[in-house]
Amino acid sequence: MFWKRFRLTLEMIKFEHSVFALPFALTGALLAIREGGPEVHNLGRKFLLIVVAMVAARSAAMSFNRLVDREIDARNPRTRRRHLPAGLLSEGFAWGFVAAATLVFLLAAKFLNPLCFHLAPAALGVVLAYSYTKRFTSFSHLILGFSLGIAPAAAWIAIRGSLDPRILWLTAAVTFWTAGFDVIYSCQDYEFDVDEGLFSIPRRLGIARALRVAQLLHLLMVACLLILVYTLRLGALSLAGVAAIAILLIYEHRLVKPHDLSRVDAAFFTMNGYVSVLFFLFWAADVLLLHPGA
């Protein structure tokens, strides 16, 4: 019975979508190693702890979001069949999962280094607080973006034990990327958000203009990546990765039209999975093959 509920919980939080932010976190770690400085020991252990911490934080945040939004989800035709509104999982079990994931996250941060542990509550506060933002601000998409964007900076801290401001360009890139695809995804709930008085860019601007905002956000993502390439003196493979991402994002925006949102899932899930994985492959190859040291 426990394992069935655990499986349902993983379905509820879309555990497989950890792929969205994890490659950016691992890239942040690789860039931290590349930049040199004091020798980094136990790299395998550190990478494992980074993965554990990131997945645990995301799992806690997603489960918390489902709990906070359970009544809203029950009223929304698109989400009323989610696990909590449909009664597939109890609120008590979901709260227990939040607590367990939070504990795993804090322990992973503690085993990484003191700064990670000291910053862990603040990071957790950001990713949990997002769940309330749609109730009072149309900037909720950017707050969600920042929740994912802190992952590469956190991975840098995990490797080096300190923060280099240059990695914040990658935080900004992930923030704009996530906010952009969240704006696209939220277009599906335009009418519901209007009826419920919830805040979103589509509700504030309308679907057509919201999609243009999403395009602008993704343009800003590409700009931030180019600045990071220049700032860290990366090479041709990183630039090729940025080009590949730009092409994928252009295609993503061609999938969704103001009068036709039927392909939002393809734009949201499939294309953004490709974006994150291809980004990591190109940038990891640049770091490991062309520029192993600064």
CA–CA gap between residue 32 and residue 164 (Å, rounded): 9
Domain annotation covers residue 4: no
Q: Summarize pLDDT for 155-176 with one digit per residue, the tens.
A: 999 999 999 999 999 999 999 9
80-112 CB burial, b ≥16 within 10 A, e <16 = eebbbbeeebeeebbeebbebbbebbbbbbebb
Q: What are phi and psi of 260, to 5 degrees?
A: -145, 100
Residues in the chain: 294
Q: Taking residues 56-72, what's their average pLDDT?
A: 95
**Whole-number pLDDT of residue 39:** 60
Of the listed ranges 61-70, 97-106, 283-292, the least confidently predicted one is 283-292
pLDDT of residue 201 exceeding 90, the answer is yes
Q: Summarize pLDDT for 2-38 with one digit per residue, the tens.
A: 677 778 887 888 877 777 789 999 999 999 998 865 5
Q: What are phi and psi of 257, to 5 degrees?
A: -120, 150
Overall number of domains in the chain? 1
Q: Summarize pLDDT for 127-144 with one digit per residue, the tens.
A: 999 999 999 999 999 999
Domain annotation covers residue 211: yes
**Whole-number pLDDT of residue 91:** 92
pLDDT of residue 192 exceeding 70, the answer is yes
219 CB-side CA count, 13 A = 6
pTM for this structure? 0.94
The domain of 278 spans 15-290
pLDDT band at 63 (very low <50, low <70, confident <90, very high): very high
Of the listed ranges 22-36, 159-173, 234-248, 264-278, the least confidently predicted one is 264-278
pLDDT band at 41 (very low <50, low <70, confident <90, very high): low
Q: Taking residues 262-290, what's their average pLDDT?
A: 86
CA–CA gap between residue 87 and residue 1 (Å, rounded): 15
Of the listed ranges 37-41, 138-142, 220-224, 225-229, the least confidently predicted one is 37-41
Domain annotation covers residue 285: yes
**Whole-number pLDDT of residue 272:** 85
Domain annotation covers residue 8: no
Domain annotation covers residue 110: yes
* Collapsed DSSP state (helix, strand, coil) of residue 260: strand
CA–CA gap between residue 287 and residue 214 (Å, rounded): 30
Domain annotation covers residue 5: no
- The sign of the CA dihedral 245, 133, 17, 114 is positive
Pick from 116, 174, 129: nearest CA to 150: 174
What is the CATH number for 135? 1.10.357.140
Domain annotation covers residue 9: no
**Whole-number pLDDT of residue 40:** 66
Q: Taking residues 93-115, what's their average pLDDT?
A: 96
Domain annotation covers residue 157: yes
How far is residue 216 CA from its own chain's centroid?
Answer: 18
